[in-house]
Amino acid sequence: MPDALDCELLVIGGGSTGAGVAWDAALRGLQVILVDRSDLATGTTGRFHGLLHSGARYVVRDPAGARDCARENAVLRRVAAPALEDTGGLFVTTPLDDVEYSNHFLAACPAAEVPVEEIPPAEALRREPRLNPAIRRAFSVRDASVDSWKLVWACAGGARELGARILPYHPVLALLRDGSRVTGARLRDLRGDRELEVRAECVVNAGGAWGGRIAGLAGLHVGVRPGKGVMVAVNHRLAGAVVNRCHLTGDGDIVVPSHSVSIIGTTDTAVEDPDDVEPTAAEVAAMLDAGDALLPGLSRARALRVWGGARPLLPRAEGPGIDHRAISRSHSVIRHSQVDGMAGLVTIVGGKLTTFRLMAEDTVDAVCQELGTDRRCATAETPIPVDGPHGHHRLSHRAEAFEHRLERSDGTDPLVCECEMVPRSELLAAARTHPGSDLDDLRRLLRIGMGPCQGGFCTFRTAAILHEAGLLDATRAVSVLLSFVEERWKGQRSVLWGQQLRQSHLDEWIFQGSLDLEHLPETSAPQSTRAQEPLPNGRDPLGRPLGTATAQDDRIASPPGPEPEP
């Protein structure tokens, strides 16, 4: 008999939606358990483009969605300030774009409540010198850059403080049912290597692109259509504001400044499997080419990482011949008690990260109806406890912190990760406050290894420092390094040309030439603490086809590869 936990609300899926639901429900006084098959924000939320939409993108195509974005943008600037960088955004009409569209665009903004201001192209070029000098019109909007990891951890942390339990690395294996009522779920505890049951009065399926599969565990059909999108991060910011092509829609038409990099994206192709999002070389090349229309020379900038994500799209109508891009991004809350007679289950799909709070509000409203209680949503007024200095995030924060340390310098707190300016003290503090973290967890916490050297220098330092501090034994330290080197090639494969290729040569010399990594004293091979237990459908506990697990999921270490970049 597996261990059992009880709660009022079980939330499946620790992306922005699930974390938002947990935060909202906890604020309304519900007892919540939030579970994810992996770490929080490692699904689409950790692999998205990083843009807090102003709404302008949707004014012509989907005015209602645009209005939601505009309102939520304003709300999040209040309640989640440190997770945002107030970069502002520009929509520009390049020579490839139809000027007619810009007229529609400008006319549609007021109705959708999207603040917009036309500025002369010369002014746009003054603000962003790398913009295509041939732009014909420019509009300034309230786009921002958002760190989804920070946002999700803050929601989860806030919920935890209100009594919620957060269980990452707990994939749902089955939904528990009592006739036509869902009563909870059976989970696998990957770190404890055991199974447990969670009994709940209501279950929310916030599985995003995996939501269809989760609903399937209760024998229900939710027609989620994963839409694959590809993004490329280049080594430094080419523009300080978000820059968008002012046209209806297209591939590679937005460049988002995110921390120290610029991210170009994205694409949209239907895929069967939301885990099947590895970018192809052709997709990468096409996107970089497209980027030249916005920021000429972008295709020659140093590409650092490439990754893909799966949009959780819910087609309004299914059938051959649907233009995938036309599918509404607005979200749907499905009360299965009303739709298919299955009580106790609410599915939330679609939407955007920008509207996650609104999605959570709508979802918890539905949950309250399921539970027959009436509780008011408080998330629009309650600050989410985001880690970080007061006010909006600024790019210079890390450089400033570095300077402060320099002033007090006694040489004892050197940088471990130089590219992202992470000092030894921060690494140790994070490793101690997050016991059991692997290098990949630390990477998301601190951004270690996310810069240009892609872990070439900081990985061995990190391993050594953690070992010295007694946080990593020698055997594990060696296997951390080994699996890093094995996996790093995978991560960089699609960007290995030009400058990044030179970098990987140097990194290779460090690992093979200086450290002679392959001949370090024999240790046991990198172990996964996660049992690969086949499910009846031929998938591993994470729902992926068997044999596709990557080191990203290993508890030992994983390299900064083509991975999430909020």
Partner 1 sequence: MSARVDPMGSSDHLESGAALVRSSLDACIKCTICESACPFAVATPLFPGPKTVGPQAERFRSGLSSADWSVDYCSGCGICSRVCPQGVRIAEINAQARARLKERTGIPLRDQLLARPDVMGRLGQPVAPLFNRAVETPAVRTIMERTLGIHRSAAIPRVSPRTFQSWSRRHPPAPGPDRVVYFHGCSVNHFEPRLGRMVVAVLEHQGLRVDVPEQGCCGLPLQSNGNFPAARRYLTRLAHRLAAAADVSVIASSTSCGLMLKREGREILGVDDPALADVSRRTWDIFEFLRDLHERGLLRTDLQPVDLCVAYHAPCQQQNHLMGKPAIDILSLVPGLRIIELERDCCGVAGTYGLKREKHDISMSVGEDLFHDIRGLEPDAVLCDSETCRWQIAKATGYPVVHPVEILHRAYSGGGRPPRARG
Q: Which parts of this chain interact with partner 1 (CB under 8 A)? A: 94-96, 129-130, 132-134, 234-237, 240, 257, 260-261, 285-286, 289-290, 292-293, 296-297, 299, 301-302, 394-396, 398-400, 402-403, 406, 409, 411, 415, 418-419, 421, 451-453, 456-457, 497, 499, 502-503, 506
Q: Which of 91, 565, 139, 76 is nearest to 358 (CA)?
A: 76
Q: How far is the CB of 240 from partner 1 (least distance, A)?
A: 4
Contact partner at residue 48 from partner 1, ligand FAD, none, CB < 5 to 8 Å by partner kind:
ligand FAD
Does 564 contact ligand FAD by CB under 6 A? no
Contact partner at residue 42 from ligand FAD, partner 1, none, CB < 5 to 8 Å by partner kind:
ligand FAD
Contact partner at residue 380 from partner 1, ligand FAD, none, CB < 5 to 8 Å by partner kind:
none
Q: How far is the CB of 415 from ligand FAD (least distance, A)?
A: 30
Contact partner at residue 210 from partner 1, ligand FAD, none, CB < 5 to 8 Å by partner kind:
ligand FAD
Site for ligand FAD in 285-344 (CB under 6 A): 309-312
Which residue's CB is nearer to partner 1, number 455 or number 526? 455
Which residue's CB is nearer to ligand FAD, number 217 or number 238? 217
What's the CA gap between 506 and 117, in Å, rounded?
47
Q: Cα-Cα-Cα-Cα dihedral of 192, 197, 198, 201, to 10°?
A: 180
Contact partner at residue 455 from ligand FAD, partner 1, none, CB < 5 to 8 Å by partner kind:
none
Bridge-based pairing of strands 345-349 and 194-205 is: parallel
Does 89 contact ligand FAD by CB under 6 A? no
In the block, residue with structure tokens 């003054």: 126
- CA 423 centroid distance within chain: 25
Does 172 contact ligand FAD by CB under 6 A? yes
Which residue's CB is nearer to partner 1, number 287 or number 358? 287
* Contact status, residue 221 vs residue 215, Cβ threshold 8 Å: yes
Which residue's CB is nearer to partner 1, number 16 or number 260? 260
From 121, 157, 208, 279, residue interacting with ligand FAD (rule: CB under 6 A): 208
**Site for ligand FAD (CB under 6 A): how many residues?**
40
From 206, 346, 448, 556, residue interacting with ligand FAD (rule: CB under 6 A): 206
Q: How far is the CB of 563 from ligand FAD (least distance, A)?
A: 13
Contact partner at residue 559 from partner 1, ligand FAD, none, CB < 5 to 8 Å by partner kind:
none
Which residue's CB is nearer to ligand FAD, number 262 or number 479? 262
Which residue's CB is nearer to ligand FAD, number 17 or number 94? 17
What's the CA gap between 471 and 19, in Å, rounded?
29
What's the CA gap between 167 and 13, in Å, rounded?
10
Angle at 251 between CA 245 and CA 257, to 5 degrees: 60
What's the CA gap between 245 and 97, in Å, rounded?
8
* Contact status, residue 472 vs residue 437, Cβ threshold 8 Å: no
Q: How far is the CB of 504 from partner 1 (least distance, A)?
A: 9
Contacts 24+ apart (CB under 8 A), 252-255: 252/286, 252/287, 252/288, 252/289, 252/290, 252/291, 253/290, 253/294, 254/49, 254/51, 254/57, 255/291, 255/294, 255/295, 255/298
Which residue's CB is nearer to ligand FAD, number 25 or number 415? 25
From 27, 38, 245, 500, residue interacting with ligand FAD (rule: CB under 6 A): 38
Sign of the C-alpha dihedral, residues 537, 539, 540, 541? negative
What's the CA gap between 366 and 15, in Å, rounded?
19
Strands of 144-146's sheet in order across: 51-52, 144-146, 84-85
Please state, in angstroms and as integers, the Cα–Cα distance from residue 507 to each residue in 118, 302, 398, 424, following that order. 47, 16, 24, 21
From 121, 157, 452, 543, residue interacting with ligand FAD (rule: CB under 6 A): 543
Which residue's CB is nearer to ligand FAD, number 206 or number 377? 206
> In sequence order, which residues have a C-beta less than 8 Å from that of residue 411 and are 6 or more positions away?
none
> In sequence order, which residues have a C-beta less than 8 Å from that of residue 116 and are 6 or more positions away?
54, 56, 91, 106, 109, 139, 140, 141
- Which residues make up the interface to ligand FAD (CB under 6 A)? 12-18, 35-38, 42-45, 48-51, 53, 171-172, 206-210, 214, 229, 265-266, 309-312, 351-354, 543
